[in-house]
Amino acid sequence: VAGHEAHHPALQHHFPDLPTQKEAATFGMWVFIAQEVMFFGGLFLTYTIYRALYPEAFAAAAHHLDWKLGAFNTAVLIGSSLTMALAVHAAALGHRKKIVGFLAATIALGGVFLGIKIVEYADKFHHHLVPGPNFRFEGGDARAAQTFYSLYFAMTGLHALHMIIGIPILATIGFFAWRGRYSPGYHTPVELTGLYWHFVDIIWIFLFPLLYLIHG
């Protein structure tokens, strides 16, 4: 009887085989990522409109961000995308220890990114650049500058939240990899986590020039 045939423990009963299951899971992940584009899209739209309305104020406000920290974090996040890609690669080849090692490196680089972000946020609190009753801005249109910093905290905050959610997922996948759950034939969770992590990297690739490198 078909139901009693030996099959892969990860294969769910409503899929005929692992490749079909993987194709469905991957497609679902991409639909989720498309939804994420729309989720962040609203913030990018708001940024575009307000920057078009107040270009000078946005440039003046952006000069209070440290582009060196932003550039360093960009490099850190690109590095974490590389280690993530190498973790997926190791999973496809069945190198258990390498999966765990590269996932650990990805988590470490993600932690460095968030640590730098904490330093930057603390600096903004210190210099009264956090929108609210204590916001102070001398170099021009303070109200538009406050709009810039509202967008800065909303966009980088939502991005950081995605990383804060992503790191425990990486740790969970790393734990399962260490336990030997994944094989060359089945490691879909590693791949899908990779897609998520790379997407978060892409968001930052746009945030860095739009927030830190406004010319003016």
- For 35, counting Cβ atoms within 10 Å of its Cβ (0-12 exposed, 13-18 middle, 19+ buried), the class is exposed
Distance (Å, rounded) from C-alpha 83 to C-alpha 94? 16
**Position 81 contacts other proteins (CB under 8 A):** yes
**Position 6 contacts other proteins (CB under 8 A):** no
| 79, 111, 131, 140: which one binds other proteins (CB under 8 A) | 79
User: If we measure between CA atoms, which residue out of 74, 61, 165 comes closest to residue 117?
Assistant: 74
| 7, 24, 67, 181: which one binds other proteins (CB under 8 A) | 67
- Residues 10 to 49 in contact with other proteins, rule: CB under 8 A: 17-19, 22-23, 26-27, 30-31, 33-35, 37-38, 41, 44-45, 48-49
Closest to other proteins by CB, 50 or 153: 50
| 121, 153, 176, 186: which one binds other proteins (CB under 8 A) | 186
**Position 148 contacts other proteins (CB under 8 A):** no
**Position 195 contacts other proteins (CB under 8 A):** yes
**Position 56 contacts other proteins (CB under 8 A):** yes
Amino acid, single-letter form, for residue 122: A
Closest to other proteins by CB, 23 or 165: 23
Closest to other proteins by CB, 92 or 114: 92
**Position 78 contacts other proteins (CB under 8 A):** yes
**Position 215 contacts other proteins (CB under 8 A):** yes
Amino acid, single-letter form, for residue 46: T
Closest to other proteins by CB, 154 or 195: 195
Q: What residue has token string 């969770």?
A: 189
The contact set with other proteins (CB under 8 A) reads: 17-19, 22-23, 26-27, 30-31, 33-35, 37-38, 41, 44-45, 48-49, 52-56, 67, 71, 74-75, 78-79, 81-82, 84-86, 89, 92-93, 141, 143-144, 184-187, 191, 194-195, 198-199, 201-202, 205-206, 208-210, 213-215
